Amino acid sequence: MPGSIPLPSDTTDPIVLADWLELLALNADDGNSSHGDLERGLNRLGADDIDSICKDSMMELNRRVIATAENYPFSFSGTLLAVKGDWRGFTPYVFCLLLSYCDNKKKKTSGLRHEVMFEQLSCIAARNYIGGEAVRFGAPRKELPAGFRDALHVLCEKVQEWSCSHRGKTLRKKDDGLDLVAWKPFPDRRIGKVILFGHCASGGDWDEKINELQPNDFCSKWLGGDRSPIVKTFFIPHRLSQEVWDDRAISAKLFFDRCRIAYWAKNDEFCEVTKQNSIKWCECVLDRITS
């Protein structure tokens, strides 16, 4: 029943309240939640300006419908939010929703590394967005060699853009802030192509990490300098207000939030690359927030 998930402590933020309504719908026997659920919950808490809060929350849900298109797990009438069948067909969005809504304790699941899965998801979104190829560079690595220098060599071979710099020591570097690389190749395999350097931040401290990756610095240190246009890309599982988005996008450059990621990431690809662990993680976390 909807009441099994308490209202969040912040009852003024329409983004958090929209998340709550989505989780209510996922948990409800009838698979839906509504403006009325939110209004009744706010009334019980004696909140102020309830009409305005409800209106803003409904507007946020509508923005998600537009931004995520057919990959949004819900249908929305303007007041009623309903799950579109089995949520497991929309794992990218549900995975990001849970990453954003839950605290670190609820997110930690033995044997299931949500940070790595978020990087895998972001990699899929980047590849589909650019219409090319992508590889996850973040540590711990499986797609590339574990060692930083060895991983750089393989990356150079794949992208056909740089030669690994031999100057200086790697100083036990893990990934130096680079979580993924996506590129759109040409058949001639010559240098000169569009390249994305991506950094992923799945936690609530994403704002502190937005400047950790500087593509020009990374290329200068490890790849002998940049030869093609490299676009800094930043991935988060959260939703942001327009004001925050406009301000942080200056630092993020190419900014992917929950809706942009879900729009470009195919459910089957995500489930396959995580070996269904993304679904297992979602199931476990959903159980925790409703218990």
Which structural domains are found in the chain, ordered by start? Answer: 2-85 (no CATH), 114-281 (3.40.1350)
**Whole-structure pTM value:** 0.95
CA 170 to chain centre: 29
- Kindly compute the dihedral angle of the four CA atoms of residues 41, 47, 52, 53, in this order, to the nearest 10 degrees: -50
Decide if pLDDT at 56 tops 60: yes
State whether the Cα torsion 254-256-260-261 is positive or negative. positive
Can you tell me whether residue 248 is helix, strand or coil? helix
Of the chain, the percentage scoring pLDDT greater than 70 comes to: 96
pLDDT tens for residues 271-284?
Answer: 999 999 999 999 99
pLDDT tens for residues 143-198?
Answer: 899 999 899 999 999 999 987 755 555 555 788 899 999 999 999 988 999 999 99
Q: Distance (Å, rounded) from C-alpha 130 to C-alpha 79?
A: 35
CB atoms near residue 212 (< 10 Å) = 13
Decide if pLDDT at 80 tops 60: yes
Can you tell me whether residue 104 is helix, strand or coil? helix
Of the chain, the percentage scoring pLDDT greater than 90 comes to: 83
Q: How confident is the model at residue 4 (pLDDT cuts 50, 70, 90)?
A: confident
